[in-house]
Amino acid sequence: MKRQIVIAGNWKMHKTNSEAMQLANQIRIKTMDITKTRIIICPPFTALAPVFEIIGDSKIHLGAQNMFWEKEGAYTGEISAGMVKSTGADYVIIGHSERRQYFGETDETVNKKIKAALENGLKPIVCVGETLDEREAQITLKVVGKQIRGAFDGISAEQMSKIIIAYEPVWAIGTGKTATPEQAQEVHGEIRKLIAELYDAQVAEKLIIQYGGSVKPANAESLLSQQDIDGALVGGACLKADSFSEIIHIAEKLQ
């Protein structure tokens, strides 16, 4: 039996509030027949509350793309977990490679953010993944293992049940390159094995591990059919209701 498939859309720095509401409404209409797949959309901070007005009474969940670990204070431009929660969001993406690349995120800050998110009733979608240089040097599993150990330091088995891991090879994000289903499955399988070592087999078995990195309707089925791939964190293809809902419908048929 396949675990529940979770499809999340990371809108990144796209969509004004009116555009975001329009897209959310289109996604809502096109996924009304979905009963098994969990759907999460992650608009920019500015659009979280307006989008929640559109999807609040639907089955679609709302997520933020980032947050800060402090509760409040003199942190100009930052958003706390409590602020995210107050918009109606119940998920938050943490440690996306673009945050690591451009904004200095580390395994330590990811760990702090995860703890703050959980304390505020948010479910973290925690991103891990290697660069092209790291893959070519054949240290993918070492890199991903280090990120996971750092991210989940001090996180209990019970807390792990509220967490989603998203494996995103950095070389496949926004490049049009996708890991082959076999490459993706290999890393997903190793992540599950590592979680079983750090916690236990039951925690590992229940864990949702998404794949991210140029997921589109054309490759969704081959990726989502893999044993240890439980969903997708979708980038570019989630900015159009047609392509995003097509991926969700593909996921629905596989469950």
Q: What is the pLDDT of residues 189-233, one digit of tens each?
A: 999 999 999 999 999 999 999 999 999 999 999 999 999 999 999
Q: What is the pLDDT of residues 136-176, one digit of tens each?
A: 999 999 999 999 999 999 999 999 999 999 999 998 887 77
Q: What is the pLDDT of residues 37-86, one digit of tens each?
A: 999 999 999 999 999 999 999 999 999 999 999 999 999 999 999 999 99
Domain residues of the chain, as ranges? Answer: 6-253
Amino acid making up residue 72: E
One DSSP character per residue, 108-154 reads HHHHHHHHHHHHTTPEEEEEE---HHHHHTT-HHHHHHHHHHHHTTT
Choosing from 61, 96, 98, 188, the catalytic residue is: 96
Choosing from 98, 105, 130, 168, the catalytic residue is: 168
Clarify whether 221 is annotated catalytic. Answer: no
Residues 6+ apart with CB under 8 A from 222: 181
Clarify whether 96 is annotated catalytic. Answer: yes
Distance CA 94, CA 101 (A): 13
One DSSP character per residue, 197-236 reads HHS-HHHHHH-EEEEESS--HHHHHHHHTSTT--EEEESG
Structure-block tokens of residue 58 = 């639907």
Look up the pTM and report it.
0.97
Say which CATH topology domain 6-253 has. Answer: TIM Barrel (3.20.20)
